[in-house]
Amino acid sequence: MRIDVLTLFPNMILPVIKESIIGRAMYEKKITINVIDFRDYSTNKHQKVDDYPYGGGAGMVLQVEPIVKALRSIEGYQDALKLIMTPQGEPYLQTTAEKFARCDHMIILCGHYEGFDERVRAYFDLEVSIGDFVLTGGEYAALVVMDSVVRLIPGVLNKEASFQEDSFSEGLLEYPQYTRPRVFEGKEVPEVLLSGHHEAIRAWRDSQRLERTKKRREDLYKKYRKR
């Protein structure tokens, strides 16, 4: 997979992914990540990429031209899945990550300031939000999307840390985990986990997942019951 990120803050992306599992996947050539500073495509002599909003109002608006020029500089951009990170986007879910993980080429635009010129949207396929809260910039959201997509690409995670048992792939939260010591400050590891009875352990874990999901995430629990 190839991912191109369009941003005004390239240093918010590259140093972070280099430190992560995505960095290893890049090094192992399982993915290619390319960061483009769309300020480089400014047509203004001061390298400006934003301007005052028509009709007035607070803040600045990102201009359409540098973004479209930067987009067109990407080889094969026509066939790529083109995303915009904004709080106005559709909710980003595990199922969305699974869909994205099957594509060969993604382009992700990160916004800042008060937003984009509305005409930018015509050049992209989809707008996504990572939750109902406001970030200072789309870079944080783009990192979240990249991390959650790249870990699903075959060969990126080892089998042990497999995503087959991920919480959301089955729609339930995970069961509690323990490791040594068996007792810490009077807090004991549940007896069943020391029993060696694989069937009993599996049953306990299943019931813990259900109980935890019901208590913490009634929305997920109801959806799970309905399937």
CB-nearer residue toward ligand 6GU: 4 or 172? 4
What residues contact 36, with CB distance under 8 A and at least 6 apart? 4, 5, 6, 7, 10, 70, 73, 74
Q: Least distance in Å: CB of 65 to ligand 6GU?
A: 21
114 labelled catalytic: yes
- Distance, in Å, from the CA atom of 19 to the CA atom of 3, rounded to the nearest integer, reads 17
- Closest C-alpha among 115, 107, 117, 106 to residue 137: 115
Active site (annotated) includes residue 121: no
One of 3, 109, 130, 149 touching ligand 6GU (CB under 6 A): 130
141 interacts with ligand 6GU by CB under 6 A: yes
Contact of 161 with 155, CB cutoff 8 Å:
no
Residue 138 touches ligand 6GU, criterion: CB under 6 A: yes
Name the residue type at position 84: I
Q: Tell me, what DSSP letter sits at residue 206? A: H
Stretch that binds ligand 6GU, among 65-73, 80-88, 153-161, 219-227 (CB under 6 A): 80-88
Note the residues at the interface with ligand 6GU (CB under 6 A). 85-87, 89, 129-131, 133-135, 137-138, 141
Q: Which residues are catalytic?
A: 87, 114, 151, 166
